Amino acid sequence: MKHLRYTWLFVAVILWSCDNPSQPASGMNDLIQHAGDGDFRGVQIGDEWIEVAAREEQNVVYSMPDELICRVPLDMKDSTFYEISYNFNEGELYNIELGFFPSDSTQVSELYQLFKAFYDQKYGSTSESNGYTAWYTTSSQGLDLEISMANESREKGRPYLTVNFFEKDGIAP
């Protein structure tokens, strides 16, 4: 059933991109589609350090036993990159922080809408306020998982979008 939903989401994204003259760059669609069964890029909260390191091997720019930092170029015209920080506690992933650094606010809006549509489909629709939204679910370890997204362009003084996955018991409303 879960795979059927992802298949329909994939078909919807493809159809939308074919009909939409201002379609997002293919790199953004690839970014969303690589989530698979995981939370992001096939990685999910609770994965072991070695699993995440192997999956992200070509993108790792900093590595410690409790953290992996990855930089991935985004296939968007004049875009810079996105940075992923994977944080581990006792060898298990408990936090994923994504920072997107596109060249303009239009790309921030496109990324925001793509992520919102994807995670609304995956975790249920949620409201948004001033460029911030959050979803709550349960991790594979049975703990509360908050997925939050914020357009922090105003605070940072440049186009900037964050997506954060944080596991901690008791954070769900």
Tokens of 89: 């506690």
Residue 128 lies in a domain: yes
Residue 172 lies in a domain: no
Q: Is residue 173 part of a domain?
A: no
Neighbouring C-beta atoms of residue 50, cutoff 10 Å: 9
Statement: the pTM of the whole predicted model exceeds 0.85: no
105 assigned to some structural domain: yes
Instruction: Please report the pLDDT score of residue 3 as a whole number.
Output: 44
Instruction: Say how many domains are in the chain.
Output: 1
Residue type present at position 149: M
Whether residue 86 lies inside any domain: the answer is yes
Whether residue 62 is contained in a domain is answered as yes
Question: How confident is the model at residue 173, as a pLDDT?
Answer: 64
| Domain enclosing residue 50, as ranges | 2-167
Strand partners, 160: none
CA pseudo-torsion sign 58, 168, 113, 44? positive
Q: What are phi and psi of 76, to 5 degrees?
A: -130, 140
Q: What is the mean pLDDT of each run of 10 residues along the chain (173 residues)?
A: 41 37 47 63 90 91 94 66 90 92 85 88 88 89 89 90 85 64
> Is-contact 36 5, C-beta < 8 A?
no
Asked if the structure places residue 160 within a domain, the reply is yes
